[in-house]
A and B are shown apart, each in its own frame.
Chain A
């Protein structure tokens, strides 16, 4: 800190020294005068005695200088002056670095938001997610909990401060303006306690809010602001949810998001709603209904291993009591809460970070090349500086300062670039990567990009600095500054080879993603999504089950059919490609097994017109009819994959299975398979067609169906007329989740598309930079060999020979780069192949295609300098010397 004070007091010190010296001379002169000298002679003598006035003053002042800072500032000033004097060089270098650092900063801000940033709750490191561990065919995977299981965990554990259950739902909010459907969560009472969050207003849930009769709700901040105009007296008021009165007991804080990654959830109510569900048994008593996720806070000092061991032992005890429900889930699956949130998205993001790191290396290589060329041009300047006393270290330090100035400028431009496009990047992946919408340039990201500026400085100025340190600094002065490109040329060529290799890695990686994505897009979803519109209607409990519901549904479908352009309409739950799947176990009549050994498959409930509406072909047997109802024989339709998997080599039609799905009208038991339809994907990203069996909607009155409409006209026009159709039947039933089927499909592909677009952009940048690098090296080589080429031409070499000479040099560089790059690309592609959903082209084909792209780009970059070389006029070239 001392030097700062000295910098500030510098002016006073300087003045003191000057005054003092002036007084000294005056005093001496006065003394000499007193001895009889003339004033003029006395002054002269005094000065002579004193010595070099200016130097003394300078040396006295210098004592106070803090050398490193002084020199740094001087270097900085000099660097800025140098860069101003070479604006083309500075612009090229800064733009390249801005591109590299900007891309890295943008990707890092995503990594920061998604992977690194802790969960937004106090002491969030102690939060863990709790699931059951199902072992199927030897491989374990996580599975949701049932209420009885959750209650058991909550009651018996001693290692958790709190254990919270939650699951998705949505609630129709009416009585406050237009009826809307609000995404909601059904949670156990201790949610806010476990997360250590205080409601903004009112109170958190208490244990008695879980009683079946309790109707309490906490509002999200946005809902409170929007629907209730931030009414300060909202707490204690009654609102209508699913047409039942609920008491608002609190408002969540502004930034509160739970579950994380799902900011649309604006209502939280307790599991009381499940305790009064109008199923045969309440949901809270069904051990087979696995629908809960859970988050827990570890007791202080308890490790996740210890908590897991305890939960495992509770689970084992459950398995002994009730093997039918628990034998297939013998233990638990726990993870830090942040891991279970980030989950599978971590790997693709980190691969992208790695890829963008390669882009930065390519950019650094380019700047290193620029800098090398510039250092060669400035050899004379350095020699002059050395000859008037600058140390070699001093000159290298000057060079580093210039480089750092460049890097810092590039970094600043890059951060601006990243800041401008990070939102767009996040938009690309919205929905497929949790928390990505929170990506922004914050302190961490800034620190990262400044660190990048340091690293890049080292990377791209290492070569010129080493070269300078080795160079005979005086020789350029002796020679007439003849182009001295030979030594640097070799190094610059190596840099270009390196760039081309990296370019190949990125281009082939992007090629892998692209070809996989094309496969994904081409994959037959098994029906015709074009012209389909899907939506849901929020209904009260009285209307969402049984006869009343079916009647409501058929009225809606009839009205829809009457709309102009509409050719078909149907009802289904769950809707394909919407991200929902319902898995239900079943028993095969011919091969009965213990309940814990039952096979499991997707199910869906559909109305008779469903298959025709979405375009799933009937392959064998019959489809559903209006006569497949609550009183007729229970039937099922299965898809081809189901028939092949569970009845291989047999005819599935006529076989009977007993599904585990129950309904309150107690029509359980064996159901006959009456038809086989084509394979339609429920999940767009699954590679193999999944087995599924379909119920006739009238035979299993479940709630919450979605509607699907086919129109020959515009889907958007249809969407805008939905509200009035539904309102004409029930004005307080909100229409929500209105999505064209193609939008569902495209949303399902948003993850792979995000990866492809980003990696593709990186590959394009790398390709461009490599081309520029190659061009630079060749152009420089041609320039410095102008004399040689001139002599060759003068001696009879024709244009073609010269052209070939330059192109040969380019070809050598590209060939070396491609050879090295092929190795890297093979390794890189093996990594990338782990994140794709569809198989890509074979490796060899990918590599050849990528190499071809590089060779063509390189040829384009090489042709200009080659032709310039061929056009060298020998007379001009020799005269120029």
Chain B
């Protein structure tokens, strides 16, 4: 979800994506950078992302990932279901307080 959301803002390559996520999560989430790659491959296979090789402004070969229409749709579904879940949790917590 995080990956899709991040890439929806702008297509990125793996390294940049890892840095972005780290920054957005304010370093709260300690994930190994490498674990990103299997996830990316899974999403490529499912058709949520597409990738192409490019050259970065610093002259590096990079593989840029981009969200597809199917990926966007999936993200919407995920987000709404996640929000529903959060809401559910909130209800339960609030109910206990009262």
Contact = CB atoms under 8 A, between A and B. Distances in A.
Interface of A: 13, 16-17, 19-21, 23-24, 26-28, 49-53, 55-57, 59-64
B60 A56 contact: no
A63 B45 CA distance: 8
Interface of B: 13-15, 18, 32-35, 37-38, 40-42, 44-45, 51, 60-63
B42 A19 contact: no
Nearest to B17: A24
Contacts of B38: 56, 59-60, 62-63
The 3 closest A-B pairs by CB, nearest first: A51-B32, A51-B34, A56-B34
Contacts of B62: 23
A57 B37 CA distance: 8
A52 B61 contact: no
B61 A24 contact: no
A23 B45 contact: no
Nearest to B16: A27
Given A21-B34, A28-B33, A63-B42, A16 B15 contact: no
A31 to B, nearest CB: 9
B34 A50 contact: yes
By CB atoms of chain A within 10 A, which of B33, B51, B60 has the most? B33
B41 A56 contact: no
Q: Please classify the interface of chain A as helix (H, G, I), strand (E, B), loop, or mixed, using the class held by over half of its residues.
A: helix
A50 B60 contact: no
B32 A49 contact: yes
By CB atoms of chain B within 10 A, which of A53, A61, A63 has the most? A63
Given A19-B63, A60-B41, 15 more contacts: A13-B41, A19-B61, A20-B14, A21-B14, A23-B13, A23-B62, A24-B18, A49-B32, A50-B32, A51-B34, A52-B32, A57-B37, A59-B37, A59-B38, A63-B41
A57 B41 CA distance: 10
A27 B60 contact: yes
Nearest to B56: A27
Nearest to A6: B45
Contacts of B61: 19, 23
A49 B45 CA distance: 26
B60 A20 contact: no
A502 to B, nearest CB: 52
Contacts of A21: 14, 34, 37
B49 to A, nearest CB: 12
Nearest to B18: A24
A662 B63 CA distance: 103
Contacts of A16: 51, 63
B82 to A, nearest CB: 23
15 contacts: A17-B41, A21-B14, A21-B37, A23-B63, A24-B18, A28-B33, A51-B34, A55-B34, A56-B37, A56-B38, A60-B38, A60-B40, A63-B41, A63-B44, A64-B41
Contacts of B35: 51, 56
A478 B52 CA distance: 54
A55 B35 CA distance: 9
Given A20-B37, A56-B38, A26 B32 contact: no
Contacts of B13: 23
Given A16-B63, A56-B35, A24 B41 contact: no
Contact of B15 (A19, A24, A61): A24
A59 to B, nearest CB: 4
B6 to A, nearest CB: 16
A28 B32 contact: no
Nearest to B40: A60
A13 to B, nearest CB: 8
Contacts of B37: 17, 20-21, 56-57, 59-60
B63 A20 contact: yes
Nearest to A26: B60
Nearest to A63: B41
B1 to A, nearest CB: 18
A61 B37 CA distance: 9
B11 to A, nearest CB: 15
A51 B63 contact: no
Contact of A27 (B15, B34, B44): B15
B37 to A, nearest CB: 5
Given A24-B14, A24-B15, A52 B41 contact: no
Contacts of A49: 32-33
Nearest to B45: A63
Contacts of A56: 34-35, 37-38
A26 B62 CA distance: 11
A49 B30 CA distance: 10
Contact of A28 (B15, B42, B51): B15
Contacts of A57: 37
A339 to B, nearest CB: 57
A53 B14 contact: no
A27 B55 CA distance: 13
A50 B33 CA distance: 5
A527 to B, nearest CB: 85
A28 B14 CA distance: 11
A64 B51 CA distance: 15
A110 B38 CA distance: 57
